[in-house]
Structure 1
Amino acid sequence: MAFTGKYELETQENYEEFLEAIGLLNAKTDHKVVTEVLQDGNDFTWTQTIPNWTWSNKFTVGQECELNTMMGSKFKAPVTLEGGKISIQFPQYLFTAEIIDDKLVMNCVIPGEKGVTFKRVNKRI
C-alpha cells in the first residue's frame, strides 16, 4: 500500500507558529518525531510518536470518522483521498498528506487571520 510504512522527521517549516496558533504554546519542538502508517485498502491507522507522547487515529477513506486532535479532544470529519492525497478537516486546520519521492509529506493549513501553513517532510525508515 502506498502510505504503509514508518517515517522519521526529515524537515519541517513553521512548526512553532503552528503550535502557537492551535494553542500548544508549551510544546517541545526539538524532538524526534516518528510517524507510522498502516493502510489496509481504505482503512488507516495513523500514529505519531515523540518521547513520552503518542497520538493515534484510525479512519476509513470515504467515510465520516471520529478522530482525536493533538490535544485529545474528539471530533467527526469525513476523510477523503483524491489524487493520492489524504485530506481531513480538523477543527482548527486542514490536514493533508501524500507520498512524494518515497517521503511522507504532511501539511496543516490554518486559514484566516492566523494564516499558518505547517509542512513536515518525513523519510521512510
Structure 2
Amino acid sequence: MSFTGIYELESQENYVEFLEAIDLLKAKTDGKVITEIQQDGNNFTWTQKSTNHTWPNTFTVGQECEMTTMTGVKFKAPVIMENGQLKIQFPMYHLTAEMVDDKLVLICATPGENAVTLKRVFRRL
C-alpha cells in the first residue's frame, strides 16, 4: 500500500513519557500535527508539520540517507522496508511506520531496559 497522502494526528499514547525519555520535553506541541508523504516507488518525501516545527526529509528505501530530526540534528541511517513497514533508526529511537486500514501508524521506541514506546495514529485527510 502506498504511503502517499496527507494525514492529521488522531491519537497518541505515551507522548510526554517518550519526549522525557529522549530529553525533548521542551519540543512538546499541543496543536495540530500534519504529516504529508509523497511516495514514488522507493523514493519518499516526508514532511512533518506542527505548531512549532516543520521539517521535511527525503529518503530512498534500501539506501543510507541523510535526514534531519525535528530539532535540526542531521544524521545518516539506512531506510528499510520490511513487510510493508518503513524502519529507520533515529539517533535516540527506532521508528516504524505502516499503513493500517488507511491510517498512518508510527511507533517510536527508545532502546534499553527502560524503553518507552510512543504510538501515533494519523487519519488521512
- TM-score bucket (shorter structure): over 0.9
Q: Give the counterpart letter for 1:116 in structure 2.
A: V
Asked if 2 retains the 8 angstrom alpha-carbon contact of 1:62 and 1:79, the reply is yes
Asked if 2 retains the 8 angstrom alpha-carbon contact of 1:89 and 1:95, the reply is yes
Change (3 A) 1:52 1:30: closer
1:98-113 matched pairs, under 5 angstroms: 98-113=98-113
Moved more, 4-13 or 15-24: 15-24
Unpaired stretches in structure 1, ≥5 consecutive residues: none
Corresponding residue number in structure 1 for 2:94: 94
Percent sequence identity is: 66
- Report the 3-state secondary structure (helix = DSSP H, G, I; strand = E; otherwise coil) of the residue aligned with 1:26: helix
1:68-87 matched pairs, under 5 angstroms: 68-87=68-87
Residue 114 of structure 1 deviates from its aligned partner by 3.5
Residue 113 of structure 1 deviates from its aligned partner by 3.7
Change (3 A) 1:70 1:52: closer
Residue 25 of structure 1 deviates from its aligned partner by 2.0
2:30 is the alignment partner of 1:34: no
Q: Take 2:89 and 2:11, find their aligned partners in 1: how far apart are those partners?
A: 23
Corresponding residue number in structure 2 for 1:56: 56
Runs of 4+ in 1 over 3 A off after TM superposition: none
Asked if 2 retains the 8 angstrom alpha-carbon contact of 1:16 and 1:29, the reply is no
RMSD: 1.2
Q: Take 1:114 and 1:69, find their aligned partners in 2: how far apart are those partners?
A: 22
Q: Give the counterpart letter for 1:93 in structure 2.
A: Y
Q: Take 1:3 and 1:65, find their aligned partners in 2: how far apart are those partners?
A: 18
Q: TM-score, normalised by structure 1?
A: 0.95
Q: 1:16-56 CA deviation, whole Å, 9 max, x = no partner?
A: 11111112122233211000000011000011101242021
Unpaired stretches in structure 2, ≥5 consecutive residues: none
Q: Take 1:7 and 1:123, find their aligned partners in 2: how far apart are those partners?
A: 5
Q: TM-score, normalised by structure 2?
A: 0.95
